[in-house]
């Protein structure tokens, strides 16, 4: 830019050439300021890096925790939007539990929850409900409830399976259930299913989600409506016919 100014003063170059040089200088200055701002965000002093530290910047995690994943390696180019390290704080963990639609009226924020995990059978961890999702899953007709588990000794790990029991003031309240004989439920393709009568001698396979069981009956949470007829005696024979017909079609 200085050279362009001198040439313009001597009337050797045009005004347009000077303006082009000045615009390029302004763009370069803006890029330099942005780069310096990024370095300051990384903790690099305003005077720049020392000669020994040039080319290296220390990135500090905003939280304390354990590194659970690293997706970058030395020498790799990365963009600001890329995640290169995952740090997880294990002092407290979220637990997400599913509550079926028919039971949501018994659940509210602040209720006590008892949690058991497979890793520590017989041991109970206590917490309270912190949040309830405002939408339902269309496939399971359930909403997620979130609790926060204190984990000072880091015994609980992300990804563990757990069972949560919500303790509420309405636990004693009587409620109507949709129940069918336990013998009506069969395992088909890894899912609980029943045979629903749709016409004389015609039956439909219906996937169901089951709940509590007692006295030979099982609660049906989803997949069946009150008044529909299901096969209780002979469902195993229908399952066998279904499997044989399926195998025959595949052959």
Q: Give domain limits for the chain.
A: 2-41, 92-167, 179-250
- Please state the rounded mean pLDDT for residues 215-234: 86
The kind and range of the H/E element at 69 are strand 66-70
pLDDT of residue 131: 92
Residue predicted with more confidence, 201 or 158: 158
What does residue 192 show for φ and ψ, rounded to 5 degrees?
Answer: -70, 135
pLDDT of residue 132: 92
Among 140-144, 214-218, 226-230, 236-240, where is mean pLDDT lowest? 236-240
Among 107-111, 128-132, 166-170, where is mean pLDDT lowest? 166-170
Question: In which band, very low, low, confident or very high, does the pLDDT at 238 lie, cut at 50, 70 and 90?
Answer: confident
Report DSSP state, residue 153.
T
Closest CA to 125 of 135, 134, 116: 116
Question: In which band, very low, low, confident or very high, does the pLDDT at 233 lie, cut at 50, 70 and 90?
Answer: confident
- Please state the rounded mean pLDDT for residues 217-240: 83
Among 49-53, 63-67, 104-108, 200-204, where is mean pLDDT lowest? 49-53
State pTM to two decimals. Answer: 0.45
pLDDT of residue 244: 64
pLDDT in tens, 41-94: 776 766 666 654 566 667 788 888 888 888 888 888 888 888 889 998 889 999
* Torsion region of 142: left, alpha or beta (phi above 0 gives left; psi -120 to 50 gives alpha): beta
Does residue 31 carry a pLDDT above 90?
yes
pLDDT of residue 193: 86
pLDDT of residue 12: 87
DSSP-derived 3-state class of residue 104 = helix
Does residue 245 carry a pLDDT above 70?
no
Domain 92-167 has CATH 2.40.30.170: yes
142 contacts: CB under 8 Å, gap ≥ 6:
98, 99, 100, 101, 136
Domain topology for 179-250: 2.40.420
């Amino acid at each position: 830019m200085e050279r362009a100014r001198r040439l313009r003063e001597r009337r050797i170059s045009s005004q347009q050439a000077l303006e082009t040089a000045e615009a390029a200088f302004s763009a370069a200055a803006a890029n330099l300021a942005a780069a310096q701002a990024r370095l300051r965000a990384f903790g690099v002093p305003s005077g720049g890096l020392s000669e020994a530290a040039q080319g290296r910047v220390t990135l500090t995690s905003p939280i304390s925790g354990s590194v659970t994943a690293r997706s970058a390696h030395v020498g790799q180019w990365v963009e600001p939007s890329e995640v290169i390290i995952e740090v997880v704080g294990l002092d407290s963990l979220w637990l997400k539990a599913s509550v079926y639609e028919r039971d949501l009226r018994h659940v509210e924020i602040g209720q006590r929850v008892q949690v058991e995990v497979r890793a520590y059978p017989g041991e109970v961890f206590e917490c309270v409900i912190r949040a309830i999702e405002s939408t339902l899953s269309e496939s399971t007709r359930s909403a997620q409830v979130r609790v926060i588990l204190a984990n000072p000794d880091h015994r609980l790990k992300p990804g563990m399976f757990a069972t949560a029991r919500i303790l509420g003031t309405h636990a004693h309240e009587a409620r109507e259930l949709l129940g069918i004989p336990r013998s009506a439920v069969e395992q088909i393709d890894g899912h609980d299913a029943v045979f629903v009568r749709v016409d004389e001698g015609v039956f439909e396979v219906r996937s169901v989600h089951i709940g509590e069981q007692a006295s030979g009956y099982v609660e049906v949470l989803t997949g069946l409506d009150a008044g529909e007829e299901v096969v209780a005696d002979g469902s195993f024979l229908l399952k066998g016919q279904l499997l044989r017909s399926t195998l025959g079609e595949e052959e």
